[in-house]
Structure 1
């Protein structure tokens, strides 16, 4: 017999908070697998999510939950999913999309023939708003979009959010920055006032699971001309940040570009990138020769 959400909430509320030692054990575990660093300041956030997972698995002691994490990779995946932050919407940081079509791509195609592949990676992609935004933006703003084989890949460590991205069903907040004519052109009405991206656009983006701090996971994605990795580095400590940036560098083709979030910078992380100050945005380029 299935357990109701109310029962699970009550069961989770009845569980004790993590001890100081258990909190340290859990945060070290998460850091080793995701690069994200949590601490005492995030105690309520951590206790709530661990309690939810323990209630789901009918466990009452953290020691038992630790044992489960050691034996069930699927539970590790579920725990990580519960800790990821998926705040996004269409056309977020639009100036970078403008930079993509007006400055970055015109440079990239100087070394490509018509019909050649251009690979663009959105990581983390959350529920798909960013990679789908890239697809819509290029259709609307780059006259040469059909002259090249543009491949857009969206990746995220959260496997549940990747499944949501594939569905591409969104509430009003997700599309609040889109002009009404674009919503009419690229979306269909869904249930409860939601909208769903048209099939052609859903099929134009490839979605994959990926842990950006794990070199093997990143290598499986191949190499890219442009990477959007926005508002992720702020969740990492210094060591994980360097590891992430090294993986991004390796993932770029020579001469490729990476776009970070507006509050992020390569300057204190790596000297391997060239800082490019375009009229629309500051981005970072892998040198043609390294």
Structure 2
């Protein structure tokens, strides 16, 4: 098949379709990335050309090909303790405020989205175990979600390369991981079992409806792939899922203040985060 089999018009059609499905917007600068993956799937499905493939993609009842393509189009680049200052803020400041409105034994819910291959939610668990003295006083639920079903299976297995664990000390590696033949590391069964992984498309109301009473959200480096409309919709979804006084952490290059007026800016010692106002607060 010719390298130019996907035309500029085809790219626009696909980009509009993918945006409606996922909220992710592809600029012209992403043409090579998008075209390469489309060509792979056109060949894999034995479609004669883009038109035939796109027709199948749009009308396939199961949506299986859309999911396969979504898995290919999403970027999963992460490692343990990435932007660790936010985990410091979690245990030093955010949770200390959250528990002011909890009774001992009550549930604290922390949501990692996108969870990618699991480094972020597992990092949260380790941070809580190592640095939060009140952990045993509360029932903490760690929820982890991603739109990519393949990466969720990777996350559930909990096997990581040496690059993924490059920021994990030898002490913590010994305590929470086991070395596998070939040089990879697998996180302990106890930590794997403590995280609830699920597939979630943030812009699909049916996917997010079950999330409620969330106390802390980590949504880092996802909304940079959304346009303004999708970002505002995502912010509203998070707001509705959060308890009054709950916090949300974004990536270092993201700002909730530029997306939504629903949240207040909180400047803690370790990090700047965003908070859903308590009841009665503006």
Shift of 1:24: 0.5
Q: What secondary structure is seen at the aligned counterpart in 1 of 2:136?
A: coil
1:50 equivalent in alignment to 2:32: no
Q: CA deviation at 1:212?
A: 1.3
Contact 2:24 2:227 in 1 (8 A): yes
Are 2:18 and 1:30 equivalent residues in the alignment? Answer: yes
> 1:269 deviation in Å?
1.2
Matched, 1:232 2:222: yes
From 122, 126, 129, the equivalent of 2:112 is 122
Distance 1:15 1:218 in 2: 39
Match of residue 67, structure 1, among 22, 42, 55: 55
CA RMSD of aligned residues (A): 1.2
Structure 1 residue 34, shift from structure 2 partner: 1.0
Q: How big is the shift at 1:66?
A: 1.2
Could you state the TM-score of these two structures normalised by the residue count of structure 2? 0.96
Q: Distance in 2 between matches of 1:260 and 1:43?
A: 27
Residues 225-263 of structure 1: CA deviation (Å, up to 9, x unaligned): 000000111111111111111111111111110001111
1:87-166 mapped onto 2 (5 Å cutoff):
87-166=77-156
Contact 1:125–1:155 (CA under 8 A) maintained in structure 2: yes
Give the aligned partner of residue 272 of structure 2.
282
Counterpart in the other structure of 1:10: none
Q: What CA distance in whole angstroms lies between the structure 2 residues aligned with 1:74 and 1:270?
A: 33
Residue 263 (str. 1) matches residue 241 (str. 2): no
Q: CA–CA distance in 1 between the matches of 2:54 and 2:267?
A: 48
Residue 18 of structure 1 is matched in structure 2 by 6
> How far is the alpha carbon of 1:216 from its aligned partner?
2.4
Q: State the 1:184 CA deviation.
A: 0.9
Q: Distance in 1 between matches of 2:234 and 2:272?
A: 19
Q: What corresponds to 1:198 in structure 2?
A: 188
**2:218 matched to 1:222?**
no
In the TM superposition, what is the alpha-carbon distance from 1:214 to its structure 2 partner? 2.1
Q: SS of 1:247's equivalent?
A: helix
1:15 to partner: Cα distance: 5.6
TM-score for the superposition, normalised by structure 1: 0.93
Instruction: Work out whether residues 5 and 50 of structure 2, in 8 Å CA contact, stay in contact via their aligned partners in 1.
Output: no
Report deviation, 1:60. 2.6
Question: Is the contact made by 1:15 and 1:60 (CA closer than 8 Å) also made in structure 2?
Answer: no
Alignment partner, residue 159 of structure 2: 169
Which stretch of structure 1 is more off in the superposition, 15-24 or 259-268? 15-24
The 8 Å contact of residues 86 and 126 in structure 1, kept in 2 or not, is answered as: yes
